[in-house]
Amino acid sequence: MQHISKLPTVETTIFTKMSALANTHNAINLSQGFPNFKSDKTLVDFVNKAMQSGYNQYAPMSGSIELRDAIAAKFSDLYNTSYHPESEITVTAGATQAIYTIISAFVRAEDEVIIFKPAYDCYEPAITINGGKTIAIQLEAPSYAVDWELVKQKVNAKTKLVIVNTPHNPSGTVFSENDMLQLQQITEGTDIIVLSDEVYEHIIFDNKQHQSACLFKGLKERSFITASFGKTFHNTGWKVGYCCAPKALMDEFKKVHQFNVFSVNHPMQKGLADYLQTPNHYLELSVFYQEKRDLFLSLIESSRFNALPSQGTYFQVLDYSNITDEYDVAFAERLTIEHKIASIPLSVFNDNNLDNKVLRFCFAKTDETLKQAASILNTI
For ligand PMP, the closer CB: 197 or 274: 197
Contacted by 228, from ligand PMP, ligand GLN, none: CB < 5 to 8 Å by type: ligand PMP
Contacted by 176, from ligand PMP, ligand GLN, none: CB < 5 to 8 Å by type: none
Supply the minimum distance, in Å, between the C-beta of residue 371 and ligand PMP. 25
Single residue of 62, 134, 166, 169 touching ligand GLN by CB under 6 A: 169
- Give the separation between CA 213 and CA 221, rounded to whole angstroms: 9
- The verdict on whether omega for the bond into residue 267 sits within 30 degrees of 0, i.e. cis, is no
Contacted by 15, from ligand GLN, ligand PMP, none: CB < 5 to 8 Å by type: ligand GLN
Signed CA dihedral, 329, 330, 336, 337: sign only: positive
Q: Tell me the residue type at 132.
A: G
Contacted by 172, from ligand PMP, ligand GLN, none: CB < 5 to 8 Å by type: none
Single residue of 19, 28, 33, 50 touching ligand PMP by CB under 6 A: 33
For ligand PMP, the closer CB: 151 or 243: 243
Contacted by 165, from ligand PMP, ligand GLN, none: CB < 5 to 8 Å by type: ligand PMP
- Give the separation between CA 241 and CA 325, rounded to whole angstroms: 39
Residue 127 phi/psi, 5° resolution?
-65, -45
Contacted by 118, from ligand PMP, ligand GLN, none: CB < 5 to 8 Å by type: none
Among the candidate windows 151-159, 225-233, 266-274, 290-298, which touches ligand PMP by CB under 6 A? Answer: 225-233
For ligand PMP, the closer CB: 169 or 356: 169
- Give the separation between CA 339 and CA 337, rounded to whole angstroms: 6
Name the CA dihedral angle for 100, 342, 145, 295, rounded to a multiple of 10 degrees.
120
Single residue of 29, 32, 187, 343 touching ligand GLN by CB under 6 A: 32
For ligand GLN, the closer CB: 249 or 264: 264
- Give the separation between CA 199 and CA 122, rounded to whole angstroms: 13
Q: Is 33 in the site for ligand GLN (CB under 6 A)?
A: yes
Pairing between β-strand 193-197 and β-strand 223-228 as defined by DSSP bridges: parallel
For ligand GLN, the closer CB: 23 or 277: 23
- Give the separation between CA 244 and CA 201, rounded to whole angstroms: 14
Contacted by 94, from ligand PMP, ligand GLN, none: CB < 5 to 8 Å by type: ligand PMP
Contacted by 32, from ligand PMP, ligand GLN, none: CB < 5 to 8 Å by type: ligand GLN
Residue 45 phi/psi, 5° resolution?
-65, -40
Among the candidate windows 66-74, 91-99, 136-144, 353-361, which touches ligand PMP by CB under 6 A? Answer: 91-99
Q: Is 199 in the site for ligand PMP (CB under 6 A)?
A: yes
Among the candidate windows 68-76, 227-235, 296-304, 358-366, which touches ligand PMP by CB under 6 A? Answer: 227-235
Q: Which residues in 155-174 contact ligand PMP (CB under 6 A)?
A: 165, 169
Q: Which residues would be at the binding site for ligand PMP (CB under 6 A)?
A: 33, 94-96, 120, 165, 169, 197, 199, 228, 230-231, 236, 241
Q: Which residues would be at the binding site for ligand GLN (CB under 6 A)?
A: 13, 15, 32-33, 169
